Structure 1
Amino acid sequence: MNVLHEWTILACKELGIDPARVDRDEILGLTKEVAHGVARPAAPLTAYLLGLAQGAGTASEDAVAKLTTLAKNWGEATTETLTDR
């Protein structure tokens, strides 16, 4: 068992989460895009925000895909956001 898998299993157990519900590779892909496209500290923050949205029941089915796309297009998104003010 590798460390990441073991950590995921133990963290899920500690939090009362079924590990089968965790798509580790999808979350790692998201945080990779955010870390490289936005800023490194934004990666764990994004994962946390996604978790909050999931827990509150407000995350859409494609929330990870939307956040990944936002991170990949961050330069354009920030330009559009700043010009909307």
Structure 2
Amino acid sequence: MTDISLDDWVAAVAAELGLDELEVDVEQVLDLASDAAHAVVRPAAPLTTFVAGFAAGQAGGKPDDVREAIDAASAFCVRVAEEA
């Protein structure tokens, strides 16, 4: 499975977890990971994306909830980087 695209990978993981209808903006998630990695340290990237995803799920899990959680987390990363 090494030649799989990121979109296909996300779809496969989502299906494995019973989330067949999940829509993921891969670029938005990767941008958040990049923001976190550069604002703090590289290991902050997966942790930040996990927390944003969890927050989106708690808010209802709709696409707008996901976008809002990612936008808020990205904005926080930018603030942290600017304050450093």
TM > 0.5 fold call: yes
TM-score with structure 1 length normalisation?
A: 0.72
Amino acid corresponding to residue 35 of structure 1 in structure 2: A
Cα deviation digits, residues 64-84 of structure 1 (max 9, x gap): 1121111122142x7xxxxxx
Match of 1:22?
A: 24
Specify every segment of 5 or more residues in structure 1 that has no aligned partner in the other structure, as ranges.
Answer: 79-85
% identity of equivalent residues: 32
TM-score, normalising length: structure 2: 0.72
Task: Tell me the SS of whatever aligns to 1:16.
Answer: coil
Between the aligned partners of 1:55 and 1:64, the Cα distance in structure 2 is 12
**Which of the residues 63, 66, 85 maps onto 2:69?**
63
1:83 alignment partner in structure 2: none
> Which secondary structure does the structure 2 equivalent of 1:39 belong to?
coil
Q: How many residues align?
A: 76
Shift of 1:49: 0.8
Unaligned runs of 5+ residues in structure 2 are none
Task: Choose from 34, 38, 41 the match for 1:39.
Answer: 41
Calculate the aligned-residue CA RMSD, in Å. Answer: 2.3
Measured in 2, the distance between the counterparts of 1:40 and 1:5 equals 22
Q: 1:5 aligns with which of 7, 12, 24?
A: 7
* Secondary structure of 1:65's aligned partner: helix
CA offsets, 1:39-65, max 9 Å, x none?
Answer: 111110111111211222278552211
